[in-house]
Structure 1
Amino acid sequence: MTVVLDRPYEFVPPYRGNLWPTAIQTFRLIDWHLRKKEAVLDFECRHAERFAESLQAGHGILLAPNHCRYADPIVLGWLAREVHTHLYAMASWHLFNTNRFEQFALRRMGAFSVFREGNDRKALETAIDILVSGERPLVLFPEGTTNRTNDVLKPLLDGVSFIARAAAKKRAKREDGQVVIHPVGLKYLCLEDAHAWAHEQLAELERTLSWLPAPGPGAIGNLVERLFRVSQAYLALKEIEFTGHASTGELSPRRDRLIEQLLQQSEERYSLVAKPTEDVRERVRKIRAAVSNTFFAAENTVRDPATFRRDAERADLAQFLLSFPDEYLTPGKITDTRIVETIQRIQEAIFGKAKESLPMKVVIEVGEAIPVPAGRPPRGEADPVLCQLRDQLHTMVTSLSQEATLLA
């Protein structure tokens, strides 16, 4: 659950020293972590010289990668090693509330917290100051959250350009050089045949649903059919859990109806009214904020954490269901990585954690530097900086997606 109800938000600053980041790189601790925890065994950096040139020029640098796996912030350590630098990164507050070791490790690797359920001025000021000082490059994920759909770029949040412009304005006053954004395309590729792995994982999911697993790996068509059946079963279970009954028909409209019902249930509880222009992510953010604010404003004797957690779970589920794109398993476009990602999303839904057991390689591609002007974007028009960032990321993600093995 991404809403923390155990304690009120308290800003977690980054660790400013170089001793720990240097030790982590020297002893290859990120390599160990990625190999053991994420099954990411290899990497390839492309156009790292673009990043290096911005470092040498003394620019304030914002790295803006697509965000498809929990491993993404860690794999950027390989890019940092390539150009001999360390990084800072903004990370959601809930990540600092797992255990003390992870909070310790996150900070030592340069992470600092952001409260996504509210206006976190301290996190914004920290991010802006990092870019103004040019002390280290700053990592911000413009999609906001991970989605495990490596081939699809989600809409970008405008906070990235806001932070970059605010820093550029301060730098311009000091006549201290530019702020630039480097888009970074991340693509995970299977190092082994995914067919047998997919059969094994689907068989486990089928047993969990009390089904008899299909015999043998079978053809890709059979694999996709089984994947759709498991997806239907999961959706039906959630429909029963939150609406009382399972519906019929195609998966996409059923998914969309459930998302809307989940959002409406929570919005009614907190007297929230969704604007016609608001997308699901914005509605989810408002629900999470209302859950957190209402919980901590209530008296200890009258608030029931279980009720608030249930409301937060509804919002999380609505956002999670968005990570099943309609076109991802279209015949003629099915790749090994798309099969793996879809299975892992279902594993996260049912088991709470994906089985990161298929060896992967990550390609880290650095885009051209986007100079950030100090002035505000044109009123009533799309922000040109955000448009350039989106276009570069979309081009890289689309191109990189074609490097996966086509199955059908």
Structure 2
Amino acid sequence: MTVILDRPYQFIPPNRNDLWPAFIQKFRIFDYYLRKKEGVVSYDCRNIERLKQSIASGAGVLLAPNHCRYADPLVLGWCSRHSGRHVYAMASWHLFNNGWFDAFAINRMGGFSIFREGSDRQALETAIEILVEAHRALILFPEGTTNRTNDALKPLLEGVTFIARTASRRRHKKDGGKTVVHPVAIKYLSVDKIDDWANAQLSQIESQLGWQKPVSLPLLGRTLRVVEALLALREVEYFGKSRTGPLPARRDELIEHLLSSTEQRMKLENAVSDANESNVRARVRVIRSEVHTRWFSRNPNDQEKRALRGDLAAADLAQELFSYPDNYLQEETVTDMRLVETIQRMQETLFGKADSSIPLHAVIEVDESINVPAEKAPRGVEDPILTSIRESLTALLENLSGEARPVA
């Protein structure tokens, strides 16, 4: 669960001492962490000169990367190394609650917290201030959360352009300086062929499901077989029986059931309507926010706490199911890394942690800068800056997806 119920939210500001990130870079500490914890053993920074030019111009620089793995913020440390400029990064509050070492390391490397389940003015003001100061670049992930679908970009959050435009106005008023956004595409590639690793991981999942009969399916068919089995288990859990039909339709039906039943129990129909009923992420956010509010403001008894934990689990499952995009494992376009991502996502569901023993190569590609005007965004339409970020990331990722191995 990403909502922390052990203690109420408290903003964690970034550590502004440059000695810590310099120390971490000098001794390649995050390189070691990426190898050991995430399996990222090598990298390639492309078009880094574009970022260097923006830094040299004195602009406030916002890096807007896609977000498909937990490794992404650390991988961008290589961008920082080659550009010669340290970075700050906005990080979800729950990441600061995964142990004292992680909290310490994230903060010393420039991370500061954001409360995703509610309004967090301190985090927004800190991000704006960083861009106005232009002392370091700022990393904001427009997708908001990680999704393990490297080739599919999730809907982007408007908060990124709100921060950028507000900073641009303040910077222009302060000294006439400018603010720019660099879309950054991160693509992970398997160093070796995945067959041995993938078959071993699928065997582990199949064993967990109680399957004993060996299978002679190709790797794609075997993966899809496990995906359907896990969906069927969830259907039995929430519907009482498994269903039939195409997997995307069954997924959507389960998502709707999870969200609507939770909204009804919590009497959130009106709040959800205001948050846009068609947006799964918005509905999940409303549920999470309400769970947090009731937990810390209404002194619930043990029975209600159990119910709230169930509501939170349902919302988390809905978001997890939403992260399985249509046609991602389509036979004509499936790649080895799409299979790796799917297997690792299933492992996180079953075991709470994905196997990271498969060595990965990270490609980090910086796109041209997008100038942020000082004017407010036009009303009634999507912010043109957000459109530009989406188009840039989509094009970069589409191109990079071709570097993965096709599945025979």
The TM tier, using the shorter chain, reads: over 0.9
Which of 246, 251, 259 is residue 255 of structure 1 equivalent to? 251
Paired residues of 1:207 and 1:213 also in contact (CA < 8 A)? no
Correspondent of 2:221 among 221, 225, 230 = 225
Q: C-alpha distance in 2, partners of 1:10/1:249?
A: 46
2:240 alignment partner in structure 1: 244
Residue segments in structure 1 that go unaligned for 5+ positions in a row: none
Partner of residue 20, structure 1: 20
Question: Which residue does 1:271 correspond to in 2?
Answer: 267
Q: TM-score under structure 2 normalisation? A: 0.96
Shift of 1:239: 1.6
Q: Give the gaps of 5 or more residues in structure 2.
A: none
Separation in 2, partners of 1:309, 1:135: 42
Does structure 2 retain, via aligned residues, the 8 Å contact 1:88–1:109? Answer: yes
Aligned residue in 2 for 1:150? 150
Match status 1:74 vs 2:104: no
| Structure 2 partner of 1:116 | 116
Counterpart in the other structure of 2:314? 314
Q: What is the total number of aligned residue pairs between the two structures? A: 404
Residue 244 (structure 1) shift: 2.4
- The equivalent residue for 1:133 is 133
Indicate conservation of the 8 Å contact 1:50/1:367, yes or no: yes
Note if contact 1:295-1:303 (Cα within 8 Å) is conserved in structure 2.
Answer: no
Aligned position for 1:8: 8
Matched with 2:341 is 341
Residues 141-179 of structure 1: CA distance to partner in whole angstroms, max 9, x if unpaired? 000100000001111111000000000010111134111
2:294 and 2:300 in contact (8 A); partners too = no
| RMSD value, Cα | 1.3
C-alpha contact 2:34 2:41 (8 A) present in aligned 1: yes
Q: Which residue of 1 aligns with 2:187?
A: 187
TM-score of the superposed pair, with normalisation by structure 1: 0.96
Matched position secondary structure for 2:218: helix
Deviation of 1:213 after TM superposition, in Å, equals 5.5
Mark the CA change 1:351 to 1:213 in structure 2 (over 3 Å): closer, same or farther: farther
How many Å apart are 1:114 and its aligned residue?
0.4
In the alignment, which residue of structure 2 is the partner of 1:389? 389
Q: 1:213/1:402 Cα in 2 relative to 1: closer, same or farther (>3 Å)?
A: farther
Distance 1:277 1:373 in 2: 32
SS of residue in 1 equivalent to 2:188: strand
Q: Which amino acid aligns with 1:233?
A: A
Q: List per-residue Cα deviations over 1:354-390 (Å, max 9, x = no partner).
A: 1111100000000100000111122212211111111
More moved, 254-263 vs 296-305: 296-305
Kindly tell me: are residues 367 and 213 of structure 1, through their superposed partners in 2, closer, same or farther at Cα, counting changes over 3 Å?
farther
Query: Structure 1 residues 29, 151: closer, same or farther in 2, change over 3 A?
Result: same
Q: Distance in 2 between matches of 1:278 and 1:372?
A: 30
Deviations 1:185-242 (A, max 9, x none): 0000000011111111111111111112635xx6xx6222211111111111112222
Q: Closer, same or farther in 2 for the Cα pair 1:284/1:300, shift >3 Å? A: closer
Q: Please, which moves more after superposition, 266-275 or 351-360?
A: 266-275
Deviates more, 1:128-137 or 1:271-280: 271-280
Q: What is the CA-CA distance between 1:300 and the residue it aligns to?
A: 5.7
